[in-house]
Structure 1
Amino acid sequence: MTSSLAVLTPANATLLKPVRRLGPALDVHCSRHQLAFDPSGTVLVVKGWLGSPLRWWAQGAASDSPVCSVDLTLEFRVDVLSVGQLIVGAGPPVGAAATPWRPRLVALSTQDGTLQHEATMPHTVIGLGASKVGTLAVLFEGGEALLWDVRSWRPVRELAAMEADITLKDCAVSPDGRFVAVVGTSHERGGECLWLWDLRTQDKPWRLSLKWPIAWSVAFHPTQPLLVIGGNSDEVTVVDAHARRVVRTLTGVGGYACNLDFSPDGALLVASGDGSGFSVHRFDTGEELFGDGDGDDMQTSDAVISPDGRCIAWGHGDGTVSLWGVAD
């Protein structure tokens, strides 16, 4: 899917062009796309909004059609994650032996979409985040959280709870599996917040109040102990996870940063906006190097960089997904 493209850098990102369109188009308008590459870059997963199937494509496939398309009801506000050869999501029970009326974690095979694992959760799942080594953070209603090991499909331990009354927007796990970050609204405290757990301790999460009306997204830098937070502002806040403090602010990131993603070396930051496409920035300065969109202000999509750093995937309202890259 990406082997003929150059690795994206600050020097060539201005030359980005659409190089492929994955389909087919769907009969329903997709107002929201959640996208994820698996850590090896061999699978691109797309979860649409209500009424659209869960689909994924394989790197190197000659066809633009998905490897699998599965009609599976999942929590529509919770991202799906691709870990190893599994696609993990949250929703109601689907297995024949499932306990009725209990929220579940489910794992599907990337090969054929068959159900591989299913587990009952104590509360409704409102957020998922995963590290590259398969440590899964599961966030529940009521501020509770759990660490889950995807490979052994069992819980690792509970995390100290957040405030009980929150609306979660995004969750991320640091590449080394040490930190879990969550952004959302604390109705108890009346504002947007970042919560950060250090998994080397049993402590409650550190909380940082944010000045924006809405915080949408959080992502960890791939090589440094930094994380970025975006919202309905033209700013992105950079936080040092070790020092637990804001270290700088990137300006000029327009369109509401609904999703943030780093290139593998951390030199580029991709921000996708609410109905305004996506933009590519230098992480060191915040300078915008590239921006594009299809003018459909009724839909939004994650923009994610492939793990080999060679392309950016972004979704359209008709259900197709475009790949952007630079010819090698």
Structure 2
Amino acid sequence: MTIRLGYQMPNFSYGTSVRELFPTVVAQAKQAEAAGFDTVFVMDHFYQLPGIGAPDDPMLEAYTALSGLAAATERVQLSALVTGNTYRNPPMLAKTVTTLDVVSGGRAVLGIGAGWFELEHRSFGYEFGTFTERFQRLDEALQIIQPMLRGQRPSFHGKWYQVEEAINEPRIRDDLPILLGGGGEKKTFGLAARFADHLNIICNASELPRKIDALRARCAEVGRDPQTLETSYLCFLMMDEDGDLVRKQQQDVLGSMGIDLSSMSEAERKQSPADRQFVGTPDEVAEQLQTRVLDQGVDGLIINMIVNGHAQGTIELAGRTLAPLVS
């Protein structure tokens, strides 16, 4: 598995009718594939996230959507970024992602995390638990899921989950990759060092040097060569040939969160959502990503384009701009 350039769709509010919604999703996946992206991601949430939209904004169920994308694409890997372990029974999740792998001809990636959005848990009747409990559950889940993906039949009796010789057939391969997503330097990075093929780091860009150091420390603790754990960074991209246009869009997005970029100091900016945003012309964005992300020791980029990803030509421009950085 290699994820060097991924395209995430976190937003299904396209100003279309519901009947036109999934065709717009399919179109983005096809454009990403044609533009040189190697992986397409959707979120595994029931409600839209704070900072992106209202809870009742459109949100598709991840694995149903990914199966539809499998039929519409040929080469790109397909994954959730990331599956919420709290509302996915582990052996059933192993079965689900393996079926996606069969349906797609060996293109599935299991993206997984501990879960964090309390509102959707409460609304849908899933136990949320404490921060510590959610990571205990993820640890146990990975002890079940990883062997099931490798063709083993695990029995496991933990605090949260129990399985008896759980069978996972059919499988198209024994190396379906596991991606962990998050920014926790102890728990998330520790689990990634033990179980993952890929870690998608979610944090402000200014934090990346510390995150990379922490990941190397977690790998050392379990005797793993950090070079065997591929990394990427989740980037919020606002890019257009008209740099002033996207800078205005950034102001509008941040303004909707009550953030006035013009009144912030450099230190304040590094603590804000703006530090995860890469804004400007293609050349400007490429320079930002090279110096702020890739030069810090990160292997690849996963981008989303919440403002204009569904607009004609936007994904093609992103692929043309970013592929040379990670090839």
TM-score, reference length from structure 2: 0.31
Flag the structure with higher strand content.
Answer: 1
Output the TM-score relative to the length of structure 1.
0.31
Query: As a proportion of its length, which structure holds more helix?
Result: 2
